[in-house]
A = this chain, B = another copy of it.
């Protein structure tokens, strides 16, 4: 394994500057309207230098997807690592989401905006990562005692519901003004209630498959 090299690290620095500048600009617009010159101007480099790192703003968008989800992976691993009781899981999950919204607001806004945005490759990148998340969660759910009797596809289905719901909670939190504590608590309460309904449904999934 070789050293990074001085030139390579400098290159990574300006690449990061481009990503940071783009992320800041994307709080007020979407990727398909993000201009190449706009980004280089904000990053403090010449327009032509952009091509040393990305061919497109679309390609830059894909890089942002991976950057945004790298930190999220670690965070989720944190929850499922420690074995918590079921009644704590809901509270802890919502707290973790809220913390992520607080700390990585720009990243999350980008994901929410581009998940159904105008750039196909970015949509695909996000969908792939979200699917992987659901896979990981399904594998984790399979180890829990509550999942006795659950088929593998059903667990995957449940996991995707949780992932979707987490994303929904996160985007709802994005709409809340960060210092509006009343609205924040209202949103958090709704998120907890939604999770509780899903958990209740999960508990009774095997009760009466045909009776419903």
Contact = CB atoms under 8 A, between A and B. Distances in A.
A203 interface: yes
Interface in A76-120: 86-87, 109, 112-113, 115-118
Nearest to A109: B116
A118 B171 contact: no
Nearest to A29: B118
Nearest to A164: B168
A112 to B, nearest CB: 4
A196 B212 CA distance: 8
A205 B194 CA distance: 11
A183 interface: no
Contact of A30 (B86, B118, B160, B161): B118
Interface string A25-51: 010111111000000000000000000
Interface of A: 26, 28-33, 86-87, 109, 112-113, 115-118, 123, 127, 154, 157-158, 160-161, 164, 168, 171, 174-175, 190, 193-194, 196-205, 207, 212
30 contacts: A30-B32, A30-B33, A30-B117, A32-B33, A33-B33, A33-B118, A87-B212, A112-B116, A113-B117, A116-B116, A116-B171, A117-B117, A157-B193, A157-B194, A158-B197, A160-B194, A164-B194, A196-B212, A197-B201, A197-B202, A198-B198, A198-B201, A199-B201, A199-B212, A200-B200, A200-B201, A200-B212, A201-B201, A201-B204, A203-B204
